[in-house]
Structure 1
Amino acid sequence: MFLNRPDLILIALPSQIYIVYQQLKVNNTTNALKCLFVGSIPFIIWEFFSLVYYGLPLPNTAYAKLNTGLPKYELMKQGILYYIDVIQFDPFTIGVIITALIASIVSRSILHKLLSFGVLLYLLYILKIGGDFMSGRFFAVPFFATALVVSSFNYHRLKNINIFFFIILLFGLSSININSPKVMRNGLVTASKDNIRGTGIADERKYYSSRKRSLFASLSNNYGLNYKESVYDTNIGNSYANVHTRKAGIGFFGVWHGPEHYIIDKCGLVDPLLSKIPQDFNTNWRIGHFVRSLPYGYKESIQSNKNLIINDDLSEYYDTIRSITRGDVFTLERLKHILYLNIGLYNHYIEEYLKFNTYKIEYLETQKIDISKLQAPKRSGHIWNQNTVIIKPEHYLVINLNTAMSIKSFDISYDHTDLYTVIFVNKDKIVENVRVYGQYGSTGLNRKEVLFDNPVIADEVFIVPEDGDEKYSIGHFIIGNSGD
C-alpha cells in the first residue's frame, strides 16, 4: 500500500501495529522482529533505491502538493468543500464509509475497529491537505476498506439490524440521481463545460472519457498532435532549444512532443526545484494545482544546461539539485548532497530566497516615475488601462519618493489578473517586500491597503510584475507615513 501511495499507510498502520504487538506476545522478540523485517523488505528496497537514485524518499509530487505555502485554514476550508462534493455527487460512497464507522463501534472484531480507525485517520488527513481536484479520488480506498468492514460484519447479533440496512439503502437510493456522467452508446461520456466546478474540483472521469482517453479508447487526441511520432529519435545534446512552460497536461504534452522538448512544470509536479518552493498565498489558487512563480534565470538555466539563476541563495540550492538529479550516481559528493538535503541542512537557502524574493533587480529593464504621478486613488473595478501606469513586459516600475520616508502603510491599485511584488529600497538596499495578488472573479483594478508592524524607511519603491497576462498596470500608490 505504501509503495502505491505513501499516505495510504495511515489506513493500514493501526492494524499493522496491532499485528506486530500480537506477534511479540506469542513469539519471542527475535522471531517477531524477523517477521517484521521480512515483511518490510519491499519497503526497504524501494526506499533505498529511491534515495540513491532519485535523492528523495517520497515522490516529487508529494513535495509539490504538500509544500504549498498556503495557510492551514485555507486548506481546511477546501477539505470541507471536498467532503461536500462527495456527499453531493457520490453519497453512496460516503454512506458506506459512515455505516462501517458506526458498525465498528459495536463490532467485537478488533480488526474492524483498527481498520475503521485507520480510515478515520485518513479522512482527517484528507481534510488537512484540502482534498484533491479529482472528485471522489481520495475516498476510493477508504470506501474499499470500509466495504470490507460492512461485508464481514456479523449483523445477526444486532437487535437493531434494520438500522444498518436502512442507512445503506438510504444512501444507495439517494445516489440514483447524482450528477454523474451518462454513458452513451459509443461508450463515451457527454462532454460539458462544467467539468471543473466552482470549488476547483473536477469530474475527471467525464473529462477524459469524452476525449477518448479511456483504457480501450483510441490513442488519437484533440490537440492536433500525432502520437505515432517517435519519442526516442532525437538526442537533446547539451541544451534544450525548445523549452515550454506549462501549468497542466505535461504528461500528454511531453509524450507527443518527444525528448527534444523540455517542459517546465509551474506546478512543480515533475520539477525537483520548483517542488521545494512554496506557492505564495493568493485568492486564485486551485487545489492540486499550486502554481509557482519561475525564479529569474531558471528558464535560461534549462535552455543552456547551466546554472543561470539570478538569486544567490537559490542558485546555491539549484547547484545541489543539479548534482543530485544530473550528477554521477555513486559519487561521494552527490551522496553527501542527498544526505544534507533530506536532513534539512539546505533549507536555509530556500528560506533566504523567499525572505528577499526571487531576483536581482538588474535582471529587468526599468520604468521610472515620481510618486506625485500616482496620488489619484482608483477604486476596485476601475478599467485597467484608463489613466493608469502601464508596465511593459520584462520591466519593473521604479517610484521615486524624492526623500527617505518612514512608511507605516501603503495603498495600491493594480490589475486584477496579475501578481506583483512591492519592494522598498533605502540607499540601494532592499529593506522590505510585499506581494499583492489578483482577486478571483473581479474585473479591472484591485485595490489593497497594507499595514506594516514597524515603520519601513525607504527612498524608492520598486513594483515588479511576477506573473499574469503581461497586461501590467498600476492605478495609484499612496504612502501612509508613521506620523499620520
Structure 2
Amino acid sequence: MNFIKDLKFWLMVTIGLIYLALAYHYRWVSSDGLSVVYQSYNVINGLGLVWNFAERTYVSTSPLFTLLSIPLTYISDLFLNLFGFSENKILSIPIFINLLFSGATFFLILKFAYSKSKKLDISKLIILGLCFILLFFSKFFLHYSTSGLENSLSYFVISAFAILAMSPGNSKTIFWLPVAAALVFLTRYDFLLIIAPTMLYYLFRNKITPGFQIMALIVILWFVFSFLYFGNIFPNSFYLKANLDFNQSLYYSRKNLFESKPMFLIIILGLYTSFIANKRIFLGIFSYLIYIFIVRDYMLGRLFTPLIPLCIITIIEFIAERNLSEYKNNFFKIYTPGLIVAGIIFYFLPVIKLYEDKLTKGRYWVSDERAFYLKPPSNFPEMKFRYIKPNPKVTFVDYCYSMLHEPLMVSNNQYNAYYLDPMGLASPFVTYYTKNYGGTGSRPGHRKADIDFLKNNGVFESYVENKNLIKNKNLSELFDDVNIVSKGDIFDLTRIKTIIKLHTHNYKQDIN
C-alpha cells in the first residue's frame, strides 16, 4: 500500500506524535522513580540490588522494571555523557526510559488500529478519534507516562497482552500470549487479576503448550532468584499495607473520579466494549477495579492508568468488528442505572458526608503526585542529584520520611551515611520490624516505624559500629536475623534457614 496516500496511516502517525509531545510536556520524576535509578547504578558499579552497602533489599514493586532499568540506565548514562548532557542526568535517565516504553506502547496500539483500518469507515474513525481525545485529556495517564515509575512499562506489556488476546488462536498467538502474561505479572504481581481470566481459559482450551511452559519457567526463575537473593518473593511494600477501610475506598474513588473524568470515561467504555468483544478481558478489568477499590493508594490515578491502554485496545476491537448502531440503545440501558448509583455515591452531599467527613482530619492523604513534586513550595526540579557509591564505613544514620531519593542528595556530610528509611520501603530491618510490631499512619503502603524507639534501643548505634548493640532481646534477635538474610552468603544453609524463620517466627513480644 502507498503510505504517502494512506490518510488512515498518517492519522495514526499524527495521534502518536501528539501523545509523545504531551508525554514529554508533562514529564517529571518522583522520588520512587529515582530509587530505581539509584539501585541500577549500584548494580552497574558491582554492588548488586542494594540500598546501603552490601545490604540486599527488594525496593521496587516491579521486578521487570527493575531488571530492565539496569541496562537502560547504563546505555542512557553513556549516551548522555557522550553528547554532553551529563549535568543532573539522574533526572533525565528515568524520563528517557519511561518515554521509550510509552512510545513503544503507542506504536503497538496504533499498529493494531491500523491493522483494523479497512473496517473503519468515517463514522467509526470519528468515534475512535474522540476516544483518543479523551486519552489526551486523561491527565494521570499522561503524568505516569513518565514519573520514573513502572507505569510506562505496564502500558507496554499490557498492550502486548491485550492485542494477543484479541487475535485469533493461531500458533503464534498460542505461543506468545502466555509469555506476555508472564511479563505482565512480573511488572506488578497484582496484574495477575487482569490476566487470570484469559489465562485460565487459555489453559482450559490449549492445555500445557510450549508457551505456557515458558511462562511458568520465567515466573519460577524469578521467584527462585528473589527468594535466594532478597530472602523474599514479595517487595518490601507488601508488608506495609494499611488496614482495609471502606470509607477510605469511597473517598479515594471519588477523588480519582473528580480529578480525571476523561480517564474514567475510557474505563467505562472499556468495560462495555470488552464485555461484548472479549469477556475474559472484561473480567480482568472488573476484577482489577475491585482490587483498586479495596487496596487504595495515596497517588491519585497511578493504579488506574494501566487499564487505559487495555481499554483503548478493546474499544478499537469493538469499533472495527461490530455494527455500532446495534449497540447504541443497549449501552444506555446497561449504564444508566450504574450512572445513577455512581451519581448518588459521588455527587449527593448527604451520602458523601457519610464517608468523607471521617477522612478530612488528616487521617488519609491522597495527592496529585506530579503537582506535589513540581509546584511550589516544592523545589524538586531544581535539586541537583548525583550518584555516589554506598560507603561501607558508616559514621551516622540518615533518615528521611518517605523520600527515596535521599541517597542521591549528596552534601559534604552524607558520604558516610547509613540511609534508614522509616517507611521500610528500602530498609529491610524496618520492613520486618513494621511487619512484626506495626507502624503508625493509615496511608496505604506507608506505615512509619517508631524511629525514636529504634534509636533509643541502640539500632542507630548498631549501624554505626557495625555490630549488634541493641538493648532489647527480641529486637536484637530480629536485627541479627535480618542482617543474616540481607548480608549473608546467598547459598549459605544457615541463611536459608533464617529466611524461613524470618517469615514464620513470631518476633512480636513485649519490647518496651
Q: Shorter-chain-normalised TM-score: which range?
A: 0.5 to 0.7
Deviation at 1:247, TM superposition (A): 0.8
SS at match of 2:303: helix
Letter in 1 for 2:326: K
Which has more strand, going by share of residues? Answer: 1
- Within-5 A mapping of 1:203-214: 203-210=368-375
State how far apart, in whole Å, the 1-side matches of 2:281 and 2:311 are.
8
What is the aligned partner in structure 1 of residue 249 from structure 2? 79
Q: Is 1:266 matched up with 2:417?
A: no
Give the counterpart of 1:244 among 398, 401, 407: 398
Letter in 2 for 1:300: E
What is the aligned partner in structure 2 of residue 465 from structure 1? none
Change (3 A) 1:219 1:13: same
Deviation at 1:33, TM superposition (A): 5.3
Letter in 2 for 1:97: I
Change (3 A) 1:33 1:255: farther
State how far apart, in whole Å, the 1-side matches of 2:424 and 2:491 are.
26
SS at match of 2:306: helix
State how far apart, in whole Å, the 2-side matches of 1:210 and 1:59 are.
30
Deviation at 1:315, TM superposition (A): 2.0
Letter in 2 for 1:92: P
Aligned residues: 295
Could you tell me whether the CA contact under 8 Å between 1:297 and 1:310 is conserved in 2?
yes
What is the aligned partner in structure 1 of residue 473 from structure 2? 312
Letter in 1 for 2:323: H
SS at match of 1:263: strand
Give the counterpart of 1:19 among 197, 202, 209: 202
Deviation at 1:281, TM superposition (A): 7.3
Letter in 1 for 2:419: I
State how far apart, in whole Å, the 2-side matches of 1:198 and 1:293 are.
18
Letter in 1 for 2:196: L
Change (3 A) 1:121 1:145: same
Q: Is 1:332 matched up with 2:497?
A: no
Q: RMSD value over aligned CA atoms? A: 3.3
State how far apart, in whole Å, the 2-side matches of 1:314 and 1:268 are.
16
- Which residues of structure 2 form unaligned runs of 5+? 1-183, 340-361
Q: Which has the higher contact order (CA 8 A, sep 6+)?
A: 2
Could you tell me whether the CA contact under 8 Å between 1:133 and 1:200 is conserved in 2?
yes
Could you tell me whether the CA contact under 8 Å between 2:374 and 2:381 is conserved in 1?
no
Which has more helix, going by share of residues? Answer: 2
What is the aligned partner in structure 2 of residue 394 from structure 1? none
SS at match of 2:264: helix
State how far apart, in whole Å, the 2-side matches of 1:4 and 1:207 are.
25
State how far apart, in whole Å, the 2-side matches of 1:134 and 1:219 are.
17
Q: Is 1:293 matched up with 2:475?
A: no
Deviation at 1:219, TM superposition (A): 9.5
State how far apart, in whole Å, the 2-side matches of 1:244 and 1:286 are.
23
Letter in 2 for 1:159: E
Asked which structure has the greater CA Rg, the reply is 1
Q: Is 1:156 matched up with 2:323?
A: yes
Q: CA-to-partner distance for each residue in 1:288-313, whole Å, 9 max, x for gaps?
A: 43212133322222222222333322
Change (3 A) 1:280 1:45: closer
State how far apart, in whole Å, the 1-side matches of 2:479 and 2:471 are.
11
Q: Is 1:4 matched up with 2:180?
A: no
Instruction: Give the alignment's TM-score, normalised by structure 2.
Output: 0.52
SS at match of 1:3: helix
Letter in 1 for 2:474: D
Instruction: Give the alignment's TM-score, normalised by structure 1.
Output: 0.54
- Within-5 A mapping of 1:466-477: none
What is the aligned partner in structure 2 of residue 446 from structure 1? none
Letter in 2 for 1:23: N
Change (3 A) 1:242 1:135: same
Deviation at 1:142, TM superposition (A): 2.0
State how far apart, in whole Å, the 1-side matches of 2:274 and 2:482 are.
47
What is the aligned partner in structure 2 of residue 120 from structure 1? 286
Could you tell me whether the CA contact under 8 Å between 2:297 and 2:366 is conserved in 1?
yes
- Which residues of structure 1 form unaligned runs of 5+? 25-31, 172-196, 360-484
Q: Is 1:92 matched up with 2:250?
A: no
Could you tell me whether the CA contact under 8 Å between 1:10 and 1:122 is conserved in 2?
yes
Identity over the aligned pairs, expressed in percent? 25
Q: CA-to-partner distance for each residue in 1:289-341, whole Å, 9 max, x for gaps?
A: 32121333222222222223333223222211110001122211112222333
What is the aligned partner in structure 2 of residue 103 from structure 1? 273
Change (3 A) 1:235 1:89: closer
